[in-house]
Amino acid sequence: MNRAMSKRRTRGKKTIWLFKKEIKSVLRSRWLLLGFIISPLFAWLFQGAFLSFIVAQTTTEPETVYITVEDNGTWGKTLYDAIRTHTDELLIDPLVNVSRSYGEGLVANKTVSVWVLIPENFTEDLENNNRSTLIMWVNTGNFRATAAAQRIDYFARQVIDKVIVIRNLQVQWYTVAPEATYGHQLAIFIVMLTSVLAPAPYVSQSFAGERERHTLEALLVVPISRVKILGAKLAAGLLLTMIYSVFTIVGILLYNFSIVVRAEPLPPEAAEYYINLYTVKVSTLPLIFFCQFLVLLCAIGIGVVISCLAKDQATAESINNLVMLVPTMVIGILGFAGSILQYGGLFGFLIMLIPFSHAIVFLNGVLSGVASPVTLMGNVLYLLIFTIVFMVIGAKLFEREAIIA
């Protein structure tokens, strides 16, 4: 009995030694650690700098605006004179008077930035119905043009009360989109794209890399179960995922700070608009952290299987990047184009088989506030089951490798 207890203590010490060995190995890999720290920080700081550039373009740089006045009444002239005398405030340079046919030509050629049309009977409609229409054609692919149109929209409402501004060729769009804001959509895309690729260097180095360096054989002869060896390596991987997730949160906070600082000099209405549109709500960070942890865990599980099958580290990394990057890019792009739940049939079924699709649906549902708890639990369970299945497969492959060794 004493001998059995002694063996257990010895195995326990060896298990602790193995855990410490793997963690020290990870902490000694300075470039690996640096990559896990810099990667999320760079992604968010770069995006923050890019959006700061967009805010600067839309709030400080003027845009060309074309205007056509067909109304001969008092209110049409009043609105035109107000716009003409406030071009500096509206960031319009130059304000170009054009005929209707010239404006229609700009629209047809898609070379228009903003074309404002004060139509015939503008004054008559306003005086008789207390309501009239100002029409604007806007190149929404141009940040400055879109911002200029928004300023004119707001300004016109201040000059003439009860004015309805209709854009896009007098088509009124009443949109109800159960999607998150730009900042949240950005969080989903960056978290997904970086998280699925982050574990690849460690996983390939820890399994295929050790096999290639012939250090795996020495580890396998230690009298410790293969499951514990695998568990020690996964524990070190989880430590890296925690580091990565923490610096993702730091990156998001720095990103938010850069947007707030850039928007601070703007008028209160404009500052609030940009901050609400581009920033990520701090209250959602725990959910982002949780979802990213699940994604990283799933990516590690897939990486373990690939690394056990690959002959060397380079092959493992190449296959892992191919397997992880292609579907992630597909669902990431589809997610930015709209909800991935909109796709039906066989294509939609295949998209939802990808585990990371459920992470996107989970994040978007939480951040937009439209998902039910049952749906969210379903997404989490699918990710967990997928991860467990691949962990089990990886453990079986690891045991087979041990026998061969």
Statement: residue 333 has pLDDT above 70 = no
Segment 73-87 mean pLDDT: 89
Q: What is the pLDDT of residue 95?
A: 92
More confident residue, 186 or 335: 186
Most trustworthy range by pLDDT among 138-142, 232-236, 329-333, 374-378: 374-378
**Structural domains of the chain sorted by starting position, each given as residue range(s) with its CATH number in brackets:** 15-55+179-404 (no CATH), 61-167 (3.40.1710.10)
For tokens 């990394």, name the residue: 317
Between strands 92-97 and 63-69, the pairing is parallel
* DSSP H or E stretch at residue 114: strand 114-118
**Distance, CA of 382 to CA of 363 (rounded, Å):** 14
φ, ψ of residue 190 in degrees (nearest 5): -70, -45
Q: What is the pLDDT of residue 331?
A: 65
Segment 247-258 mean pLDDT: 88
Q: What is the pLDDT of residue 162?
A: 44
User: Considering the chain, what percentage of its residues have pLDDT values greater than 90?
Assistant: 6
Mean pLDDT computed over every residue of the chain = 76
pLDDT band at residue 252 using 50, 70 and 90 as cut-offs: confident
**Which residues are registered as beta bridge partners of 66?**
96, 115
pLDDT band at residue 172 using 50, 70 and 90 as cut-offs: very low
Tens-place pLDDT, residues 107-131: 888 788 889 998 888 888 878 877 7
φ, ψ of residue 99 in degrees (nearest 5): -80, 165
Q: Are 252 and 187 in contact (CB under 8 A)?
A: yes
Q: What is the pLDDT of residue 62?
A: 86
**Distance, CA of 335 to CA of 357 (rounded, Å):** 9
Give pTM, 2 decimals: 0.66
φ, ψ of residue 136 in degrees (nearest 5): -135, 135
Segment 255-274 mean pLDDT: 78
**Distance, CA of 154 to CA of 142 (rounded, Å):** 19
Q: What is the pLDDT of residue 84?
A: 92
For tokens 């109800």, name the residue: 176
Q: What is the pLDDT of residue 66?
A: 93
Q: What is the pLDDT of residue 174?
A: 28
φ, ψ of residue 69 in degrees (nearest 5): -115, 110
Please tell me the total number of residues recorded for the chain in this structure.
405
**Distance, CA of 389 to CA of 370 (rounded, Å):** 30
Q: What is the pLDDT of residue 176?
A: 33
Statement: residue 97 has pLDDT above 90 = yes
**Distance, CA of 281 to CA of 243 (rounded, Å):** 21
Q: What is the pLDDT of residue 161?
A: 58
Segment 380-385 mean pLDDT: 90
Statement: residue 393 has pLDDT above 70 = yes
Please report how the helices 313-337 and 355-368 are oriented relative to each other, as an axis angle in degrees rounded to 10: 40
Distance of CA 353 to the CA centre of its chain: 20
Tens-place pLDDT, residues 13-49: 666 777 777 777 767 777 777 877 888 888 888 878 8
Least confident of 133-137, 231-235, 347-351: 231-235
Q: Tokens for 357?
A: 């699709």
Q: Could you tell me which of 336, 333, 377 has the C-alpha nearest to residue 358?
A: 377
More confident residue, 62 or 369: 62
**Which residues are registered as beta bridge partners of 116?**
67, 136
Q: Could you tell me which of 385, 405, 363, 211 has the C-alpha nearest to residue 301?
A: 385
